[in-house]
Amino acid sequence: MKIHFDNIIYSLQRAGGISTYWTELIYRLLRDQYEMTFTELPHQNISRAGLHIPEQSRTLTQGGRLLFNRFKILSLRAEKDPFIFHSSYNRITSNPHAQQVLTIHDFVHEKFYSGLRRYLHLHQKNKAIGLAEKIIVVSEHTKQDLLHFHPYLKEENIAVIYNGVSESFYPLNDVCNQKLNPYLLFIGSRAHYKNFNFAVELLGRLTDFNFYIVGSSLSEKEIRLLNQKIPGRWKMFTNIDNEQLNRVYNAAYALIYPSSYEGFGIPLLEVMKTGTPFVALNQSSIPEVAGNAGILVDELDLDAFEQAILQINGNEALLKEKGQTQAGKFSWEKCFHETLQVYHDLGQ
Least confident piece of the model among 117-121, 182-186, 286-290, 301-305: 117-121
- Could you read off the pLDDT of 168-189 as tens digits, one per residue? 999 998 775 555 689 999 999 9
Q: What share of the chain is helix, strand, coil (3-state, %, to 5)?
A: 45, 15, 40
Task: Give the residue among 86, 88, 91, 85 at the shortest CA–CA distance from 71.
Answer: 91
CATH class of the region 183-327: alpha beta
Which pLDDT score is estimated for 177? 52
Which pLDDT score is estimated for 63? 57
Query: How high does pLDDT run on average in the chain?
Result: 93
Start-end ranges of CATH 3.40.50.2000 in the chain?
2-164+331-347, 183-327
Residue type at 306 in one-letter notation:
E
- Could you read off the pLDDT of 94-112 as tens digits, one per residue? 999 999 999 999 999 999 9
- Could you read off the pLDDT of 37-88 as tens digits, one per residue? 999 988 888 888 889 998 888 887 765 666 678 888 999 998 999 999 999 9
Question: For the domain 2-164+331-347, what is the CATH code?
Answer: 3.40.50.2000
Q: Is the pLDDT of residue 216 over 60?
A: yes
CB atoms within 10 A of CB 160: 14
Q: Is the pLDDT of residue 120 over 70?
A: yes
Which pLDDT score is estimated for 124? 94
Query: Residue 150 and residue 140: Cα distance in Å, rounded?
Result: 15
pTM: 0.92
Region 28-44 average pLDDT: 92
CB 166 within 8 A of CB 335: no
**Residues ≥6 apart with Cβ < 8 Å to 129:** 102, 104, 135, 146, 150, 153
Which pLDDT score is estimated for 45? 86
Which pLDDT score is estimated for 254? 97
* Separation in Å, CA 348 to CA 1, 6, 54, 84, 345: 9, 22, 27, 12, 6
Least confident piece of the model among 60-64, 93-97, 207-211, 334-338: 60-64
